[in-house]
Amino acid sequence: MKRLLTLLIISCTVATAAHAQDAKEGQSLKQRLFPTMKQDIDAINQRSAVNDKLPVTPSNKRTKEVIFTDYKPAATTAPAAATARSKSNAGTLPSDKAPVHSIDSTPAKIYIPHQGEEAPKKN
């Protein structure tokens, strides 16, 4: 089975290579695929030569205004959300208030169970 598969692959490779070499005398694959390539290149070069001759005048506009058509600078005043946030922070913080102690707020001893990795020490 391996020999048959190898023979099939070699046959397909040779057939593909032979077909790729099948071109008219003096004609390459590039010329077959793009017959008007030289004319296209000449037309592009002519257009770029015309564009190179045009004078370039520097604009007085900022770059962002040239790139973006609807460019509007950000507002210089603080947004309403920022002013509301600063007003709400003006009061005292809850952590600054004196702690209120009640019967339930006394600290208690906390039992931490073993996770099974260490056995409890026995004396």
pLDDT tens by residue, 10-45:
999 999 888 777 766 777 777 778 889 899 999 999
* 76/104: higher pLDDT: 104
Model pLDDT, residue 13: 94
DSSP assigned state of 91: S
Mean pLDDT of 88-99: 71
Judge whether 38 and 30 are in contact, CB under 8 Å.
no
For 65, counting Cβ atoms within 10 Å of its Cβ (0-12 exposed, 13-18 middle, 19+ buried), the class is middle
Measured from the Cβ of residue 70, the count of other Cβ atoms closer than 10 Å reads 5
